[in-house]
């Protein structure tokens, strides 16, 4: 898969301005590249229809979608920063957070072309399992002040940070899809957000060494 960057497009545009841009097979635009085309009012073609036109038919302005895609790209970068900081603390958890980062990448690609494959797996626990992991479960585990004093305190604080950012992104994504006609696509994206958030809660619970789930009946 080849990615076209904003720098690539600016270089082409400065050499020879254009009003249409056609994506070749196995080629994608980075979010900043797509935003550049939108800002320049350049029509993006992908197959038989202009991709920008398709997004407009769904009921939202393309710039709003591009803004969310850029936000998710920032989230992916934040996941990588956290992973780099915790690898020496807990390799197993850092590998699972990398899996969550890959799921986040899938959400971004879904917003761009409507395709996503979930990669997050769940080890069943009293509160979260394969049946409810895609639902909004609130906080099955909440981090308190004393948690950061534990041996895994830094790890817990970083995962709590990622979970909070994911919840904010889910709100933005929910608002974006509010008027979309593609209900299946909306559900798929929101469920992916929920899977990441719930997995983070599960990892936080494990890292804190909780022996009894507060949701256990």
| One-character DSSP codes across 153-208 | HHHHHHHHHHHHHHHHHHHHHHHHTTT-S-HHHHHHHHHHHHHHHHHHHHHHHHHT
Confidence at residue 49, expressed as pLDDT on a 0 to 100 scale: 46
Confidence at residue 63, expressed as pLDDT on a 0 to 100 scale: 63
Q: Is the pTM of this model over 0.85?
A: no
Beta pairing partners, 46? 49
- Three-state DSSP at 104 gives helix
Confidence at residue 15, expressed as pLDDT on a 0 to 100 scale: 85
In 25-168, the DSSP E strands lie at 27-29, 43-46, 49-50
Nearest to 5 by CA among 38, 39, 29, 35: 29
Low-confidence ranges of the chain (pLDDT < 70): 1, 46-64, 113-121, 177-182, 214-217
Confidence at residue 57, expressed as pLDDT on a 0 to 100 scale: 41
Asked whether the beta carbons of 110 and 192 are under 8 A apart, the reply is yes
Beta pairing partners, 49? 46
Cβ atoms within 10 Å, residue 126 = 13
E strand or H helix that includes residue 3: strand 2-4
């Amino acid at each position: 898969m080849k990615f076209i960057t904003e720098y690539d497009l600016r270089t082409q545009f400065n050499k020879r301005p254009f009003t249409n841009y056609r994506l070749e097979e196995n080629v994608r635009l980075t979010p900043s590249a797509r935003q550049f085309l939108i800002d320049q009012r350049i029509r993006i073609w992908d197959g038989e229809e202009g991709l920008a036109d398709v997004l407009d038919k769904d009921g939202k302005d393309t710039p709003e979608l591009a803004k969310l895609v850029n936000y998710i790209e920032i989230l992916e970068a934040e996941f990588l920063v956290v992973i780099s900081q915790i690898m020496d603390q807990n390799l197993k958890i850092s590998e699972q957070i990398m899996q969550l980062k890959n799921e986040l990448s899938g959400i971004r690609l879904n917003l761009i072309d409507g395709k996503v494959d979930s990669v997050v797996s769940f080890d069943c626990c009293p509160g979260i399992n394969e049946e409810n992991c895609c639902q909004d479960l609130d906080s099955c585990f909440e981090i308190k002040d004393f948690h950061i004093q534990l041996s895994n305190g830094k790890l817990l604080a970083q995962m709590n940070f990622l979970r909070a950012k994911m919840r904010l992104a889910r709100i933005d994504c929910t608002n974006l899809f509010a008027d979309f006609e593609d209900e299946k696509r909306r559900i798929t994206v929101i469920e992916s957000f929920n899977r990441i958030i719930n997995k983070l809660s599960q990892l936080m619970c494990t890292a804190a060494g909780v022996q009894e789930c507060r949701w256990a009946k």
